[in-house]
Amino acid sequence: MKKFLPIIVLLGCAALFIFGIVQLFQLRFENGDVYPAYSSLRADPLGTMALYESLEKLPGISARRDFSDANRLPEAPQTVYLHLAGSRSEWKSTPKDLLREMQNFLAHGNRLVITFFPQTESHGLNFLDVTEKTNAVPGAKSKDKKLTPEKPAHKKKQLTDEDWELSLEAEWGFHPSFEKLAEADGTYAPVRIVNQTELPLPPELDWHSGLILTNCSSAWRTIYARGTNAVVIERSFGKGSVVIATDSFLVSNEALAQDRHADLLAWLIGANQSVVFDEAHLGIVETSGVTALMRKYRLHGFAAGLVLLAGLFIWKNAVSLVPPPAGEKGDDYVTGKDAAAGFVNLLRRSIAPRDLLATCFAEWKKSVAPAGRSSSARTQQAEAIFQSESARPHRERNPMATYKNISKSLGTRNKTL
């Protein structure tokens, strides 16, 4: 037992170390701060996990996350697709196929909800046109993987200029701008927005973003406005509808804990039975690697079994599972080969089979020359036999028979030349 004690202690320490690492990662991922803001995988104030899990528990409603990196929307009817915390750069220029995909999604009676990331400073905007209230600032490319103009990197199709000629803002008739928020001691105070409809929604709300919507077409209905500028609008597209909001705070975990408006959230979801949270545009994309397949088919036990088998194999080769009999001592040497066997092995590696007889005969002649026997009759007879054999084609030679004939002419028996 004492012999196996170090191994047992080592295995115990390794198991404890692995358990600690797993617990550390579990605590980090449960908190969710490794994910982008407004992701439904975050449990902290900046996430939307509370909304996701609340919808998941409601009878008659199913909630799921979309991790696909393809520009495809759900085909099932009665679906609301939540594209949360986006930026204007995602809609500045839109491929034609993406616009057709969205129109097809809305034609089936579905609902698309687009909320922008809360913006408090104009210089952080992407592609926004701003005057004294809206100052022009250059933008950057979007990192969106779903409802954005950029195609996934693995797509082979290259977008041409014609594919990028459409602007969703121009097609749908809205224009995001910026209006400053009041600032005090480095903190931006929310503004009050007012309900412009007869819908049973809160008459006023705190709004945490300086984004506003201007130049909206008559097809849009203003739901909430900041002064004369809209911040929440809705439009019907056939049987479906689109909602655009310039703030995402209303769906965050912090809002549901401190400033919850269930009636507003119910209006956003509508009468749809399926709710899809777009996670791909936040950079959370599902991969198809070995680890993902193992999680999908629940092969955790199989992987643990392989690790255990590998450990037993290493243990078996390191230490014998059966202890040796008491008093028995192992040999202190390793059995090898004698000189003759080594010489034969050397010949096999260094000399080709067809050159073996010529090599042996040449070495024999060197050994008999100093003895003065090179001109004897037997030596001449052996030379003649060897020359006769060498004159034959390689395929007709018989080294063993020639060797026996030379040995017989020299009067030797089973001896080397």
Instruction: Encode pLDDT of 316-334 as tens digits.
Output: 777 666 666 666 555 555 6
pLDDT at 154 over 60: no
Tens digit of pLDDT for each residue in 5-59? 777 777 788 888 887 777 666 665 555 568 899 999 998 899 999 999 999 999 9
Tens digit of pLDDT for each residue in 157-176? 454 544 455 778 888 999 99
| DSSP letter, residue 232 | E
Range list of H helices, 229-318 = 253-258, 262-269, 290-296, 300-318
- CA distances from residue 4 to 1, 192, 289, 308, 321 in whole angstroms, order as listed: 5, 72, 39, 17, 10
pTM above 0.95, yes or no: no
Tens digit of pLDDT for each residue in 186-244? 788 999 999 999 999 999 999 999 999 999 999 999 999 999 999 999 999 989 999 99
Range list of H helices, 161-273 = 168-172, 253-258, 262-269
pLDDT at 141: 36
- Residues 343, 349, 353, CA angle at the centre, nearest 5°? 95
